[in-house]
Every structure is written in structure tokens, then in C-alpha cells.
Amino acid sequence: MSIQNIVQLQKDFFKSQKTKDISFRKKVLKSLLKEIIAREKDIINAIHNDFKKSEYETVMTEISIVLSELKLTIKNIHKWSKPKRVLPSLLNFPSSAKIYSEPFGNTLIISPWNYPFQLAFAPLIGAVAAGNTVLLKPSELTPNTSNITSEIVHKIFQQDHVSVIEGGVSVSQELLNIRWDYIFFTGSVSVGKIVAKAAAEYLTPTTLELGGKSPCIIDETASLKLAARRIVWGKFINCGQTCIAPDYLLIHTSAKAEFIKLFKKELQKAYGEAPKSSEDYARIINSKNFERLSDMIKGETIAVGGKTSKEDRYISPTIVDEPLLTSKVMQEEIFGPLLPIISYTSEQEIGNVISSFDKPLAFYIFSNRKNFIRKMISEYSFGGGTINDTTVHFANHRLPFGGVGESGIGSYHGKRSFDTFTHKKGIVSRGTWLDIPTRYAPYKGKLKQLKTLMKLG
């Protein structure tokens, strides 16, 4: 069936009001939950076939996140969808006021390859829970995962409710030419701008979950052993291909040598002498990215790692020692297992580096000084972050997940996903038993009364 035909079917389905039924939404989400549990092994195999991601990482960072989003949503969907009563304004006396949650309508979700299962299903759950139809375009770079995503979706949902269209850039562009009621995009900043331009044509609201260079500061008071272990984990999970992975380290000069020593130890503990043979270490997604990353380390001083193997797109966990801000590795988001380390002696130097990039998606501070931590949080604008660890803010559904500035627009996770895909409709219901005459013309002599009312209201 052509894209146009599916879109028309979804428009008709939305118009039929079927998705307004909360019990219907809950029922399909429950079926989705069961199906994902039943297909766990297939999902693990698909992602492994795409880029050798380990079973453990797939369960932790893809399946379990989707399952907990589903469980939370199923449990709360009735509560979240109920009209919410708010205090009425005295100016409207007598009245009551409520916020109604209304689905936008036909939504488009475009997802990336790096967490190919989670980043497709997490927004989809929010969109369905909120009562929208969904057309999902997963990434062409993870064909096995896109395939199983399509199988699961088409087994659980009617095509006119939720559908998957597989394909690459041309399909994506065709989809972006259509008028949608909401677009949710996860991917690079450059494609995010293409999406924003397409959305502007119809003033379509969007969420843009993008990337950037996320700094990780380690000051002279940090617990270095723990920092090393937690950075090794957050940087090399998914082989560094994580939007919120620490992109580069800013470390106090006095801590640098000790940190590198501990980092090497932690690396060895995690992936052994030869990470290439470790079952837990994934691969670079494709040759293009392999070349891009290999190019970044050419001519740089390598403090740790630096080994590459083209045949299986392997790049070892690597620390790039003191690259210039003008070097390739510091000019763009790395999105791979390379970690530049830059030392500083003053806060001014931290500022010089961070301020030379756009607002990052994530921010990490390793320190035992409360004042320093507070200062960094208030001084720099970024999507979200973690103190004394990396990436784990992602896992708390009570926190908004999203960027700011070039790292994105909007946020989701937990109830926020439901709200993201919901138009909030404010309704005042006026009483008819009393009609205070103050606001009606003629106004002569009523100004004082109005001002008193304004103060109270």
C-alpha cells in the first residue's frame, strides 16, 4: 500500500473517534506489552545482528525501558486522560475550569538507529496512549530491528491506527512533505533542522530529540576511581553511540594522571585485555561512521586504545589526549568510542571550552564540592545531566528527557510522553445564576470596582 493510502486510512480512523476511547488505547497497549515480552529473544537477536550489541545491553537499554514505559502508561492512562479541574478565576465568578487532554491527530515518528528499538517504541507508546494514530519510520541502518519493529506493530495494531514504513532518506523526505498533526523526530541536529523546516510549512508542532557535544567535568575533589568506572560504563555502552554519552572530559590538571591510570584499570575490568574479543563490546554501525571516527584520531596523541579494524568496524575504547578545539574530534559530536581528555586549571578554562559549543544534550560533573556543582548547573544551559555518574538521568521517567537550543526542542518519558502528544484544551464553564455587570459597557464609574476584582482574581 502506498504511503498516501496509509496516511488517508489513518486520517479516516482518527476522524472515526475510535482512538478517543481510553479503554481501547489501554487494551492495545496491553497487547503490545505481551507481544514484546513474547518476542524478547527475537529483539535481542535483531539488534545483535545489526551491530553486535550484547544481550545484556539490549535488555537494559532497550527492552526494559520500553516495558517500564508501557507498564507505567497502562497503569495511569485513565488518570492522565481525565479532565483536570483547576481553580477558577474570581474574574469569571461564578465558574469552574478544567483542562481537557485531546490527541493531536495523525502523528509521524522518525527514529534513529542507535537505540533502534527503544527510540522507536518509547515515543510510540506516548502517542498511542494520548489517542493519536502513528506512522513510524525506523532507521534504515538497523534493518533487522526495523523489521521486527514492523512485525510487532503490524501484529498488534490495525494499519489505520499504527503503521511502520521502512525506508531511508527518500521515504523520510516523502513523509515530511505530508501534513501531520504532530512530528516526533529523534536524530542528528542537521536532519532535525530539515524536519523543523518541513514542519513549518504547516505549522506542525514538533518534538526534536537531537544531539551535541556533552561535556563531563572532573574536578580535583572527585572520587576518581568511581568516576573512572562510571565514565567507562557510560561512554562505551553501545560502543559510544549514545546521544547522551559524555563526549569529552574536562579534568583538573592535578587529577589527570591518576584518572588515566584508573580508567585503564576499569576498562580492563569491563572488557578485558582485548575489547575486540569481548562479547559485551558492540561495533560501529556502518563503514561511513567507522571512517569518520578513524579519521578523527589520525594525528592525535592517544593516551588509551586507538586500535581499529576495518573488517568488523571495531574501534577500541580510546582516550584522545589534549586535542585542540579546532581538531576534528572536537569540532563535531563524536558518537563513537573516542573520548578526548582536556585538562584545566581554572573555571575560566572550563567556560572557554563549553561555551565554544551549542547547548549540549547532557552534562556531567564529578565533584565532591556542592558549591561547584551548584555553580555549574546554574551557569550552563543543557538538556539534563547527572552528578557523579553518567547517563543515568535518562532512566528516571519522572524527569523530562530532551534537549535545549541545538540539542533539541521538547521532552518526553513517563507522563511527559503522554503530555507531549496531547493538546491541553482549557475550558471555563460559567454559571448562569449570577451575572456580575462590571465588565459590560457603559464603563463609566466601574474602573475602581474592576481594579479591586483584578487584585482578587
Q: How far is the CB of 243 from ligand NAD (least distance, A)?
A: 3
Q: What is the DSSP letter of 346?
A: S
Tell me which residue has cell 576499569.
266
- The DSSP result for 166-217, as a single string, is ---HHHHHHHHTS--SEEEEES-HHHHHHHHHHHHHTT--EEEE-----EEE
The C-alpha cell of 260 is what? 588515566
Q: How far is the CB of 82 from ligand NAD (least distance, A)?
A: 29
Maximum separation of any 2 CA atoms in the chain, in Å: 87
Q: In the annotation, is 209 catalytic?
A: yes
Q: Which is nearer to ligand NAD, 209 or 219 (CB)?
A: 209
Asked if 341 and 249 touch (Cβ cutoff 8 Å), the reply is yes
Half-sphere exposure of 258 (CA within 13 A, CB side): 15
Q: Give me the catalytic one of 243, 266, 300, 406.
A: 243
Q: How far is the CB of 163 from ligand NAD (least distance, A)?
A: 15
Q: Which is nearer to ligand NAD, 99 or 194 (CB)?
A: 194
Q: Give me the catalytic one of 57, 62, 69, 209.
A: 209
Q: In the annotation, is 243 catalytic?
A: yes
Nearest of 283, 233, 240, 308 to residue 263 by alpha carbon: 233
Q: Which positions ≥6 away from 183 have C-beta within 8 Å? A: 107, 108, 109, 110, 176, 195, 198, 199, 204, 205, 206, 207
The C-alpha cell of 408 is what? 533539541
CB closest to ligand NAD, residue no: 211
Residues in a beta bridge with 216: 249, 364
Asked if 391 and 362 touch (Cβ cutoff 8 Å), the reply is yes
Q: How far is the CB of 281 from ligand NAD (least distance, A)?
A: 19
Q: Which is nearer to ligand NAD, 110 or 338 (CB)?
A: 110
Asked if 333 and 360 touch (Cβ cutoff 8 Å), the reply is no
Angle in degrees, CA 218, 223, 225, rounded to 5 = 100
Q: Which is nearer to ligand NAD, 81 or 107 (CB)?
A: 107
Q: How far is the CB of 96 from ligand NAD (least distance, A)?
A: 39
Q: Which is nearer to ligand NAD, 118 or 294 (CB)?
A: 118
Residues in a beta bridge with 387: 365
Binding footprint of ligand NAD on the chain (CB under 6 A):
110-114, 119, 137, 139-140, 168-169, 172-173, 176, 186-188, 191, 194, 209-211, 243, 333, 335, 361, 403, 408
- DSSP E strands, 94-188: 95-103, 106-110, 133-137, 162-164, 182-186
Residue 314 and residue 247: Cα distance in Å, rounded? 19
Burial class from Cβ neighbours inside 10 Å (0-12, 13-18, 19+) for residue 64 reads middle
Residue 10 and residue 6: Cα distance in Å, rounded? 6
Q: Which is nearer to ligand NAD, 57 or 209 (CB)?
A: 209
* Structural Rg of the chain based on CA atoms: 25
Q: Which is nearer to ligand NAD, 14 or 412 (CB)?
A: 412
The C-alpha cell of 74 is what? 497502562
Q: How far is the CB of 398 from ligand NAD (least distance, A)?
A: 17
Q: How far is the CB of 219 from ligand NAD (least distance, A)?
A: 26
Cite the active site residues.
209, 243
